Amino acid sequence: MRRLLKRYSLYMKQRDLFPGLRQAVQRHFNLIELRTAHWAAKNPYDERFDVSEYVSPYPFTFGIVKEFWHNHRFYIRACRELKVSYRVLDLTRPDWLETVTQSACDAFLVVPSVNFSFWKQMYDERIRVLVEVLGKRVFPSYEAMWMWESKRRMHYWLKANGIPHPETWIFYDRKEALGFADTAPLPLVFKSDMGSGASGVIIFRDRGRLRRHINICFRKGFTNYRRGPTDRETGTIFLQEYLPDAREWRVVRIGASYFAFEKMKAGEFHSGSHLRSFARPSSVLLSFARGVFDTGDFSSMSLDIFVTRDGRYLVNELQTYFGIQDNHEMCVVDGVPGRMVHDPQHGTWAFQAGSFCDNYLYNQRLSCFIEQLQWGDQGT
């Protein structure tokens, strides 16, 4: 394993030199154990940091739920920098219920693993029991984590709440899907239920190719390179209208802080391009996003919003966790980093200069949860 891990680490360093290498390797080989070991090796907080050793000024202790690829390390850093008491808990073990009930933690910080569907299912099941049966407080909310990395769940939530979004069709019957493909206006966008950075997105302009893909989804099943060859979605398909000239903005809310930038296209897609354009976001855009956040009582959420050429705002995705390339600032106005804040009394938006995105926004998330606990707020 050590030799394989060394080779995998070398491959990770060289992958950008060979476009498509990463996708090809991960699509055809089951590398779950190697990839897990790779990310474990990058965690600077080993078991010596599983329990805080300092005196905290806060009267509570957080349980930091361990994540398979060690993204919980950002919550460890946030707790240590803000001097909040914590202990790391492993909910993947068979004795996870005993671990939770014996932990004496007042609330829980959770980054579910969504790299594979079986990991996502495990977190959905156990966090729900944690919240609804044991009555524990978690951050982000269970509702926000339940929707994370599931485009079907996002769509159901958006439609049920009357929030504008691209027209979407979800089929669980192969013949119905094929019949739709015969008459639907092309192009159509296929999206896998799970998959970030456009890894599970295909634009279909040819009916024959679309029909073949429908048959694959209902028979063999679909996977993308991030999930490997064995983790397949079978028996359903998610199709969406194509909006060729739409611009896309990302708006993020963490507590009272709002951040926004425009996602620029690379080829066909905005997602995964890592190209951004910064400008002061319009008050109309921010107020639209705020309305969506308030509908779900979401205090830690990202919205990807399409702005169509006829001026409509359509929610593309909601993600409670999201990528921050190289720990960059997410709101920059006239070259100055900062955040947008809302004045509810006057209904106006103001820009506040400053650096708020350190530690990939986890310090902001922790501060938001601390404020909720201190004020007794049940916000999510």
pLDDT at 178 over 90: yes
**Closest Cα partner for 368 from 265, 285, 267, 297?**
297
Nearest CA-CA partner of 373 in 81, 91, 82, 77: 82
Strand (E) or helix (H) holding 32: helix 32-41
Residue 379 binned pLDDT confidence (cut-offs 50, 70, 90): very low
CA count, 13 A, side-chain hemisphere, 112: 29
Mean pLDDT on 72-91: 98
* 8-state DSSP, 107: E
Q: Kindly report, residue by residue over 238-286, the tens digit of the pLDDT.
A: 999 999 889 999 999 999 999 999 999 766 655 555 688 999 999 999 9
What is the Rg, in whole angstroms, of the alpha carbon atoms belonging to the chain?
Answer: 21
* CATH assignment, 247-375: 3.30.470.20
| Residue 378: per-residue pLDDT | 44
pLDDT reported for residue 327: 67
Instruction: Specify the pLDDT at position 114.
Output: 92
Q: Which residues neighbour 49 within 8 Å (Cβ) at sequence distance 6 or greater?
A: 76, 80, 88
Cβ within 8 Å of residue 19, ≥6 positions away: none
CA trace torsion 265, 268, 272, 275 (10° rounding): -10
What pLDDT, on a 0 to 100 scale, did the predictor assign at position 13?
54
Q: 167-241 adopts what CATH topology?
A: Dna Ligase; domain 1 (3.30.1490)
CA distances from 173 to 13, 178, 216, 235, 339 (A): 43, 9, 13, 7, 46
Q: Other C-beta atoms within 10 Å of 256: how many?
A: 15
For the segment 188-197, the average pLDDT, to the nearest whole number, is 90
Q: Which of 247, 238, 216, 263 is nearest to 167 (CA)?
A: 238
Do the Cβ atoms of 63 and 107 come closer than 8 Å? Answer: yes
Query: What is the 3-state secondary structure of 191-234?
Result: ECCCCCCCCCEEEECCHHHHHHHHHHHHCCCECCCCCCCCCCEC
Chain centroid offset of residue 220 CA: 27
Distance of alpha carbon 138 from alpha carbon 128, whole angstroms: 10
Give residues with Cβ within 8 angstroms of 288, minimum separation 6: 305, 313
Q: How does pLDDT run across 16-56, given as a tens digit for each residue?
A: 555 565 666 666 666 788 888 888 988 999 999 999 999 99
- Number of C-beta neighbours around residue 92 at 10 A: 15
What ranges do the domains of the chain cover? 2-147, 167-241, 247-375
Quote the tokens at residue 345.
Answer: 């009394």
Max CA-CA distance within the chain?
A: 66
User: How distant is the alpha carbon of residue 254 from its chain centre?
Assistant: 14
What's the pLDDT band for 229 if we cut at 50, 70, 90?
A: confident
329 vs 375, residue with greater confidence:
329
Residue 254 tokens read as 């963490």
* Burial of 311 (C-beta count, 10 Å sphere; 0-12/13-18/19+): exposed
307: CB partners within 8 A, 6+ apart: 246, 247, 248, 249, 285, 313
**pLDDT of 24:** 61
Q: Answer yes or no: are the C-beta atoms of 223 and 272 closer than 8 Å.
A: no
Q: Is the peptide bond before 19 cis (omega within 30 degrees of 0)?
A: no
